[in-house]
Amino acid sequence: MTDTEEFRPLQGVRVIDFTRLLAGPYATMTLAELGADVIKVEQPGIGDETRHWGPPFVHGASAYFHAINRGKRSIALDLADPADREVAHALIGTADVVVESFRPGVADRLGIGAGEMCERFPRLVYASISGFSQTGPLAAEPGTAVTVEAESGLMHVTGYEGADPVRSGVAMVDIATGMSMINGVLAALLERSRTGTGRRLEFSLFATAVSSLGTVIAATSAGGPPSKPWGSSHPSIVPYRAFAAADGQVVLGATNDAMFARLVTALDLGDVLGRPRWADNQARVEGRDELEAVVGSRVGSLAVDTVVSRLQEARVLVARVRTPEDAARGPQSRALDLIEHDDGVSIARSALGTNGTVRLARAPHLDADGAALRDELA
């Protein structure tokens, strides 16, 4: 296979998608990008509520919806209606994978729960995504990014000390949960190729968030200071944060002592920070405020381009703080072909390394494929 050929390893795999909002739809869109036939099941007349999360709207739905539902087919089914439930069962019978994001117990009540479906279709890989998992005291609570970030402790370490709690600028817990689901589904399909039997999988935003805090939990349990928000700083590395330059913002850092020495030289700070006092990272962490004030003053006197060029030449961590729009239009995104443009909306590809060889269709209109899919099942 050449680099220009389509990378579609899931060609022939069918996924029935009962998910909504972000984590599940992002995961199933990525499976579609890898070649799977993804059929999105939606509520008649309403559909996935993210269709209405706008403005802006393009092609009859929100830009948000288009960003995470491209390449799928849509069928509208009322799972409380026995006839539509039979259609859902028939679709599941043709599937390799089912993904659902109902609250615990709802899928069972609607007749598409994992227990019944896996018993009827033993080759099925059945994946559930929820906010707080299927068990535990919070299982029945609605779990979205903001509530999970609060309950997990992630919000506690985000933002600046003394300020109001801050959620992540993007729902990264949802994205990470979706990526975990992709990994689990791919592993289960591989296992099925050996055993002939599918598997039930469970994923939750809460488990993802707590897992992402692993280094924080380990540090505090080992006798480190209590957790707190650090802004753009790092609790154990100094300097390692954003600074204001004369005409913008830059991030810079020194992850080891040799890199710090190069940073000092590149910024002409040897008379202050070249002293033995600052030679090791522990001393720099202990003198954080004093050291960062010196670095901040020097960076503030220089243009962003000057800081970046000096530190890049010295092999020191440095980056401009860009807007998402700048990054999407920038040379690195263009080189990786990360953005696909479609008549008024720019779509970021998945991070699974398809190198722009797959062109996904637009997100479907509600029930756009309902008639065709019913005909296929007839």
- Please write the tens of the pLDDT for every residue from 305-334: 999 999 999 999 999 999 999 999 999 999
CA dihedral (20, 84, 139, 122) positive or negative: negative
* pLDDT over 80 at 356, yes or no: no
Please state the separation of Cα 66 from the chain's center in Å. 16
Question: For the chain, how many residues are written?
Answer: 378
Please state the separation of Cα 159 from the chain's center in Å. 19
Token readout for 301 is 């006197």
Region of poorest pLDDT, from 19-23, 79-83, 316-320, 335-339: 335-339
Give the pLDDT confidence score for residue 358 in this predicted structure. Answer: 63
Give the pLDDT confidence score for residue 227 in this predicted structure. Answer: 93
Among the listed residues 136, 160, 161, the one whose alpha carbon sits nearest the alpha carbon of residue 152: 136
C-alpha 71/C-alpha 126 separation (Å) is 21
User: 185 versus 223: which is more confidently predicted?
Assistant: 185
**Sheet containing 317-320, strands listed edge to edge, beginning at the edge strand earlier in sequence:** 240-245, 248-253, 317-320
C-alpha 132/C-alpha 58 separation (Å) is 33
Q: Which of 108, 174, 247, 280 is catalytic?
A: 174
Give the pLDDT confidence score for residue 224 in this predicted structure. Answer: 84
pLDDT confidence tier of residue 4, bands split at 50, 70 and 90: low
DSSP for residue 363: P
Q: Based on the residue annotation, tell me whether 174 is a catalytic residue of this protein.
A: yes
Task: Classify the phi-psi angles of 349: left when phi > 0, otherwise alpha if psi is within -120 to 50, otherwise beta.
Answer: beta
Q: What is the pTM of this model?
A: 0.90
C-alpha 278/C-alpha 273 separation (Å) is 6
Region of poorest pLDDT, from 198-207, 225-234, 335-344, 349-358: 349-358
- Please write the tens of the pLDDT for every residue from 157-177: 999 999 999 999 999 999 999
DSSP for residue 351: S
Give the pLDDT confidence score for residue 1 in this predicted structure. Answer: 44
Give the pLDDT confidence score for residue 337 in this predicted structure. Answer: 85
C-alpha 126/C-alpha 13 separation (Å) is 13
- Please write the tens of the pLDDT for every residue from 13-37: 999 999 999 999 999 999 999 999 9
> Can you tell me which residue has the tokens 């380990």?
218
* pLDDT over 70 at 357, yes or no: no
Q: Would you state the torsion angle of the CA atoms of residues 52, 53, 56, 58, taken in this order, to the nearest 10 degrees?
A: -40
* pLDDT over 50 at 89, yes or no: yes
pLDDT confidence tier of residue 3, bands split at 50, 70 and 90: low
Among the listed residues 134, 148, 84, the one whose alpha carbon sits nearest the alpha carbon of residue 105: 134
Q: Would you state the torsion angle of the CA atoms of residues 218, 222, 223, 227, taken in this order, to the nearest 10 degrees?
A: 0
pLDDT confidence tier of residue 362, bands split at 50, 70 and 90: confident
